Amino acid sequence: MNRRGVRENSAGSSWSFRRWRRVARFAPGYLRSVVRREWQLVLLALGGLAPGVAILTAWLNLALHLHEAGVSNSSHAGWLLPEVVLGRLGLGGVLVGAGVVTLLIGGLGLANAYLASVERRTPQLALLQASGLNRREVSVLLLLEAGCAGLLGSGVGLIGGLILSPLSWMAAGQYFGFDSPFRLDLLAFATAQVAGLTTALLFMGTTAIASLQIEPVLALRGRSEPLLLRSWRRRETTVYGTVYAVALVVEAGLPVLPASALFLLAGLTALLGLLLTSSGWLLTWLYNRLPAPVSAVRWRLALQGLARYPRHTAGLTLAMIAGAYAVGLAALAAGKGIPVLSFPAWVAGGILVAGGVLVLTAASLAALERRQELTLLVALGGRPSRVRHLMLLEYGIVAVCGGTLGASLALINWAWAGGGNWLTALLIALLDLLATVIAAWAGALPALWRLGRRTPSE
């Protein structure tokens, strides 16, 4: 009896080994085809991960130095947090939190955009399953995609961190009161690199694997999943985003923070992740409920275009919310009278760059993905100028709704930290909303430019 069980286990392990060896042989060609067909993933990784990894690298390096030097005073002005929270977090918590929030904003936008890419390739992935690969093996291929994207984005971000760290060191020394020469801490760079790779694997890999629940036969026939399952996945991605945000805080803060500060920072990050992710889906649901008069043809077409691609729309909306929140937070921090060369201005500028890059990347990729649909409208008789106006209207709706919510969240954060001149704050919020709309339209320009340069048949 035992010998038979041993033989069965040996045969099973040999069969499993052969299958995994086949996946290993298949993976290089599959990844090359993904790079050729889904080159947008490269831009997604760079726009979503690189700024966050660069900022997290620089601030972790500084936090480790302050911890070793015994600098723990957190009563400096310029941080958009209440004094009670600042006292419990300490300088290390503020710096780690600023880096993780920047990485979280990129990761949330990256997750929804990548999930939309995977859902667009569902028939191709189903064909792989119908050809002999099981669901676990296809999941491994998607995790390899996420891992490669994470390595690329983290590698570029690490280079950015090597540049940002020495540039901001003098301002940090003047602000925190130390005169030590600049030095690199390998622990900070290793932690930031691992955090970037973890972000890609969590936000890209597992959310993509969750989209492989539909049966291959149904996917090849073009049948969509049940409505109940789609709505459940919206809640699932919200919960996953919150849990992953906490995991990133724990991973990045362990080398620097005590347990109490780490627990408080994890709670604040979970609240922010929950607000951003759920708000993106809430606004996506709201677009379908906006009034659409029969006489407003272009408005109706714009709302229909947003409703046809819920994942695409949710990812773009989330990018607008996160970008507006980041830019508004940076502008409100600068509005508290921080000198241009002061260290909080470096922190605010890093968040601003990350938010702006995320909006531009998400908007441009979304426009490029829909270029075939736009040229089809031209082929059916629509004027290129009217198609451009339709696309700008869609992006304007998303930017106004997402930008308003993101700027409102920044104002709430500002008021929570003690507030100040409300007239100046409201003016900053309006400028933040205008910047979000301009960034969204700027992201659509590449696809709109190509729309006029090529004929529909090309």
pLDDT at 7: 47
Per-residue pLDDT 10s for the chain (458 aa) are 455 554 444 444 554 666 677 777 777 887 887 777 777 767 777 877 888 899 899 989 988 888 777 766 555 545 667 777 777 877 788 888 888 888 887 787 777 677 767 777 777 777 777 777 777 788 888 888 888 888 888 899 999 999 988 988 888 888 777 788 888 888 888 899 899 888 888 888 776 666 666 555 555 555 554 443 454 456 666 777 788 888 888 888 888 888 888 888 888 888 888 887 788 778 888 888 888 787 787 888 888 878 777 767 777 787 788 778 877 877 787 666 555 457 777 777 777 777 677 777 766 666 666 667 777 777 777 677 777 787 788 888 888 998 899 889 888 888 887 777 888 889 988 988 988 888 888 877 776 776 656 666 66
What's the rounded Cα separation, in Å, for the pair 385 and 391? 10
pLDDT at 239: 76
pLDDT at 229: 40
pLDDT at 324: 84
CA dihedral 436, 245, 153, 125 (to 10 degrees): -100
pTM of the model: 0.77
CB atoms under 10 Å from CB of 176, counted, come to 18
User: For the chain, what are the domain ranges?
Assistant: 26-453
